[in-house]
Chain A
Amino acid sequence: MNILIADDEEVLRMLIVDTLEEEGHVLTEAADGHEAIECFKEKTFDLLLLDYMMPRMTGIEVIRKVRETSDVKIVMLTAKTQQRNLEEAKEAGADFFLAKPFSPLKLIELVTELEER
């Protein structure tokens, strides 16, 4: 799968990249919302892993922007305290949520499941 990971934390990007590349996916990194939008202009992706809290542009704003042109599957990485904002994210077009801190094995499971659909 062609996956875009948008997170401002380098460590988390590294974790996700290392986890999913081993499973044979192709990963592209974006350090914030703007970069994510830029990546979407250049390429198409099968899956977008999106951090909720990012500088400059929040995850929700990124979803709205992405949904203008694409129906890519979107998984939001959130902290539990942001639960109350999940409705908003769902409305904006997020498909799945993964709470931080997350298990890499669970992430693999989720991605595999999404791939099989």
Chain B
Amino acid sequence: MITLFRQTIRKQFLVIMVAMLLLLMAGAAVAYLAEKRLADEYMEERRKMNEKVKAVGLVESSFKHTIFSMRGYIAFQNEEELQQAYNSARKLKEAMRKFKPLASSSEEKQLVAELAEFNGTYTNQLVPKAEALVKAGNYEGVRQLSSLGTTDQILSLIQAVEAEKSGLNELIDQRYKQFLEKTRALNAAVAGYFVFVFAVTSGAVWLLSRKLGQPLQELTAAAEKLAAGGEVHIRQIKRKDELGVLSAAFVHMTKTIQEREHELTAHNEELMMQQEELERMLAETEQMKNRLLEVDQLKSELVSTVSHELRTPLAGILGFTELMLNRSLNQEKQKKYLTTIHQEAVRLTNLINDFLDLQRMESGAFACSFEKVDPAPLIEPIIETISQTTNRHHFQLIDQRSKKWLSGDQERLIQVFTNLIGNAVKFSPQGGQVAVYVTNNEKNMLIKIKDEGLGIPAAEIPHVFKKFHRIDNSDRRKIGGTGLGLAVCKEIAEAHGGTITVSSEYGEGSVFSVLLPLWEEKETTVNGERSDEYIDCR
């Protein structure tokens, strides 16, 4: 993020410093000017005063000289003295002219006026009078003239001038003291001003640093919280300096981090879901693998079983044949052996046929041709054929149908009924009744084959339709069989969309029930030559 620092902290400090410098410089300048003016004023005043003092001194000395020379003339009648007196009087006049513009107070002005008046009177009236008197030698007149108060006036004037002189000197001293005081006061003011400027600057710096410190602390706290993994809600500080920029950057960073974090969390959740999915799939794969292993095991068991089942009759056939070939046997034995060989060969053939049938059905390579089938004419010849092999059983066909036709493959159904009725005979070695019931409901035809034979133990019932499954019972082992008959029956029934079930009471006999769908006339009309169609049974 590129940002222009419009009002940097450095600039703020710089402004404060420059302001302080300017204030100090201005203060110093003002102080300098004020002091200069004060000094100038003082010097000017002092110059004037000195001038005044000088003027007053000149007035005093010329006045005294005038009086002194005049007195000398009067006393000694010396013309030189008189000339001196006139010269001094001129000098006094000159000094008076100089002093007059300097006289500022009313006393001074009065003194100037008095002196001017006296001087006028003295030089214009008294001196010429005294000169004339002296020249006339009239000292009485001189005494009278001086007793008219001239001397007193002179003395008081001299006094006044001296007082003025000393007063001026005092004033100079006083002014000097005042000047010193003012200078001191000014210095104090300057010092105070500097302290003030320093205090203001310090205050500004303090405020600035406080303004910097607080948001920094907040940012630090927020950063620590963020680092600890907490949710941070920080407002952007509206400032134009580095802190404003830092705050904006921090807020931006926080937002980005939190967004990333949310993104990460979402991503993480997705990953976890994916992992779960993967685990689920893995479990499925594992299950499938186990199932495949199971299938594989079943397959190898099947191979082993088939091998055993094939070898057993083969062993009989080969064994008896070898005996017949190698031994001279009597007729009876020969017949017995041949019968056995024949039986075993038939058994082998049946086994192979059943097994191949079952394989075809299971692999889906077997098709049924469905047609209108009346089950009774199918069952009757089967009963007829089987009844000829036994004299212990009696057979019954109980036809309770309301509908005549079922939908099925005639050849396959013959196979089923032959198998079931044959089993009913085989597994009732003591004989008894074998009954075949044919009934129906709205949709299905039910054919039940009931015997009074050995029955099936309850635990074995779920397994009787499995391939090569034989009930572990020595009685049954004496009864031959491929172990495939019922499995074939089940495949055929299911291929018809029907079912085959068994119920049995061990020792009391069994009932096998075959449920097959009824023939539906509509199908024929709709599908036309339905009976010719071959449908994959699976």
Chain A interface residues toward B at CB < 8 A: 8-12, 14-15, 18-19, 22, 31-32, 34-35, 53, 55-56, 79-82, 100-105
**B181 to nearest A CB, angstroms?**
133
Scan B29-58; emit 1 where CB is below 8 A from any A CB, else 0. Answer: 000000000000000000000000000000
Q: Of B304, B314, B327, which one neighbours A82 at CB under 8 angstroms?
A: B304
Q: Contact between A22 and B327 (Cβ–Cβ < 8 Å)?
A: yes
Which of A14, A19, A32, A101 contacts B318, CB < 8 Å?
A: A101
Q: Are B319 and A15 in contact (CB under 8 A)?
A: yes
CB pair A101 B472 closer than 8 Å: no
Task: List 14 additional contacts besides A55-B477, A79-B307, A103-B319; criterion CB under 8 Å.
Answer: A8-B474, A10-B478, A11-B316, A19-B323, A22-B327, A32-B477, A56-B474, A82-B308, A100-B308, A100-B311, A101-B315, A101-B317, A101-B318, A104-B323
| 7 intermolecular pairs with C-beta atoms under 8 Å apart | A8-B477, A11-B312, A15-B315, A19-B319, A100-B312, A101-B315, A103-B322
Chain B residues with a Cβ closer than 8 Å to the other chain, count: 28
Interface residues of B (CB under 8 A from A): 303-304, 307-308, 311-320, 322-323, 326-327, 333, 340, 343-344, 470, 472-474, 477-478
Residues of chain A contacted by B478 (CB below 8 angstroms): 10, 31
A10-B478, A81-B303 given as contacts; is B318 within 8 A of A55 (CB)? Answer: no
Closest residue of B by beta carbon distance from A103: B322
Bound-state Cα–Cα, A10 to B313, Å:
11
Which B residues are in CB contact (< 8 Å) with A9? 312, 315-316
B344 near A11 with CB under 8 A, answer: yes
Q: Within 8 Å CB of B314, what residues of A?
A: 100-101
Main secondary structure of the interface of B (DSSP, over half): helix
Task: Return chain A residues, CB-CB under 8 Å to B323.
Answer: 15, 18-19, 104
Q: Once the chains bind, are A14 and B315 in contact (CB under 8 Å)? A: no
Q: Are A12 and B307 in contact (CB under 8 A)?
A: no
Q: Which residue of A is nearest B306, CB measured?
A: A81
Q: Measured between C-beta atoms, what is the minimum distance from A12 to chain B in Å?
A: 6
Contact in complex: B315, A102 (CB < 8 Å): yes
A53 neighbours in B (Cβ, 8 Å): 308
User: Which of A11, A80, A104, A105 has most chain B Cβ within 10 Å?
Assistant: A11
A93 to chain B minimum Cβ distance, whole angstroms, is: 22
A79 to B477 CA separation, bound complex (whole angstroms): 19
Distance between A21 CB and nearest chain B CB, rounded to angstroms = 12
| Bound complex: CA A100 to CA B344 (Å) | 15
Complex: chain B residue closest to A19, CB-CB: B323
A22 to B329, CA, bound (A): 11
Q: Residue of A at shortest CB range from B300?
A: A81
Q: How far is the CB of A6 from chain B (nearest CB, A)?
A: 12
Pairs of residues from A and B, 9 with the lowest C-beta to C-beta distance, nearest first: A101-B315, A11-B316, A55-B472, A15-B319, A81-B307, A100-B311, A101-B314, A101-B318, A100-B315
The winner among B312, B319, B340 for most chain A CB atoms within 10 A is B319
- Tell me the nearest residue of chain A to B344, going by C-beta: A11
- Nearest CB of B to A33, in Å: 10
- Contact with B308, one of A35, A56, A81, A102 (Cβ below 8 angstroms): A81
Residues of B within 8 A of A10 (CB): 478
CA distance A112 to B320 in the complex (A): 20
